[in-house]
Amino acid sequence: MSIDIPLAAVRDDGGALAHGSDSGCNRCPLRQLPPFQPVSAEELALIEGLKRGEPEHPADALLIEEGQADGPLYTLLDGWAFSFKTLQEGRRRQILAFLLPGDFIGLQQKMDEAATHGVRTLTPVRVCSFRRDALWTLHRQAPSLGYDLTWLAAHSESSVDDNLLSVGRRSAIERVAAMLLDLHSRTSALDPSGDGRSMPFPLTQVHIADAMGLSLVHVNRTLRQLSRLGLYRTCPPGRIALPDPAALAGVAQLRWPLRVPPRPLI
């Protein structure tokens, strides 16, 4: 059994944030990375004013519970997570999207009375925690950041769209290949020093199955098949290698390379 109490056991080291040009957010290592668009000093100050801290959560922790009424608002700083929905009791969950550093968490839940999907960590994570009213304040005080929020919401859908296309219309091997490539592209963009062939991979085969609408057993067979084709290899601990991404893209019915658009970071 995992720890399922969203806010318990979380240490929040907020309150000690500097408010100057040399402040914390300005030195946020994420902002230096190529995928993220620059922001003005004013925007940065506003964001920093809404920040509450950088709590950490362990692996396999529930950040947002399905149906939760007034959940948190985060930007994922470090680690992996995923959003999911479940059908009734006991039946397997459907993973909607995998969340990587820079992804915004809780937007959807804040737009509704109750969270329509849950969010759970895959690895230990560090998040940037925002005040409960951050969404409205961002919109009101900085239209450009409000626009960015709409951007994030729209692209969050885009990611689910891709997943739905896979689950609805691709065969098992195509689905798995497409998923591996998607994660490969996104992690590569976040790690300019990477070798472009191997990547961190904290998912178990159960996660792949839950994301792709497949059974665990069949995911295993499919991965073995990709192995035999020389398109997939595990390189412990917690990493995998994709020796030939272009060929994998051929299997996935995907045009390569995948586009990773520049994106706002809030």
Partner DNA sequence: CGATGTATTGACCAGCTTCAAGTAACGTGG
Partner DNA sequence: CCACGTTACTTGAAGCTGGTCAATACATCG
Secondary structure of the chain: what % helix, strand, coil (to 5)?
40, 20, 45
Rounded to an integer, what is the distance from CA 175 to the centroid of its chain?
18
Rounded CA-CA distance 201/179 in Å is: 12
Among 132, 155, 218, 263, binds DNA (CB under 7 A): 218
Which does residue 223 touch among DNA, a copy of itself, none (CB within 5 to 8 A, set by kind)? DNA
Sort residue 175 into left (φ over 0), alpha (ψ -120 to 50) or beta. alpha
Of 156 and 188, CB closest to a copy of itself = 156
Q: Is 19 in the site for DNA (CB under 7 A)?
A: no
Q: Is 34 in the site for DNA (CB under 7 A)?
A: no
Among 29, 34, 90, 237, binds DNA (CB under 7 A): 237
Q: Is 81 in the site for DNA (CB under 7 A)?
A: no
Q: Is 6 in the site for a copy of itself (CB under 8 A)?
A: yes
Q: Which residues, 207 to 226, sit near a copy of itself by CB under 8 A?
A: 212-213
Helix (H) or strand (E) holding 83: strand 81-86
Of 151 and 191, CB closest to a copy of itself = 151
Q: Are 138 and 75 in contact (CB under 8 A)?
A: no
Among 32, 88, 193, 237, binds a copy of itself (CB under 8 A): 88
Residue 116's contacts (CB-CB under 8 Å, 6 or more residues apart) are 66, 85, 108, 109
Residue-by-residue DSSP string for 14-64: TT----STT-TGGG-GGGGSTTBPP--HHHHHHHHHHEEE--EE-TT-EEE
Among 195, 236, 255, 259, binds DNA (CB under 7 A): 236
Q: Is 186 in the site for a copy of itself (CB under 8 A)?
A: no
Of 29 and 236, CB closest to DNA = 236
Q: Mask of contacts with a copy of itself, 120-159, x by CB under 8 A? A: ------------xx-xx--xx--xx-xx-xxx-xxxxxx-
Annotate 149-188 with b (16+ C-beta within 10 A) or e (fewer): bebbeebbeebeebbeebeeebebbbbbbbbbbbbbbbbb
Q: Are 9 and 3 in contact (CB under 8 A)?
A: yes
Binding residues for a copy of itself, per CB under 8 A?
2, 4-7, 9-10, 85, 87-88, 91-94, 96, 107-108, 110-113, 116-117, 132-133, 135-136, 139-140, 143-144, 146-147, 149-151, 153-158, 160-165, 167-170, 212-213, 253, 261
Q: Which residues bind DNA (CB under 7 A)?
A: 171-173, 204-206, 213-218, 220-221, 223-224, 234, 236-237
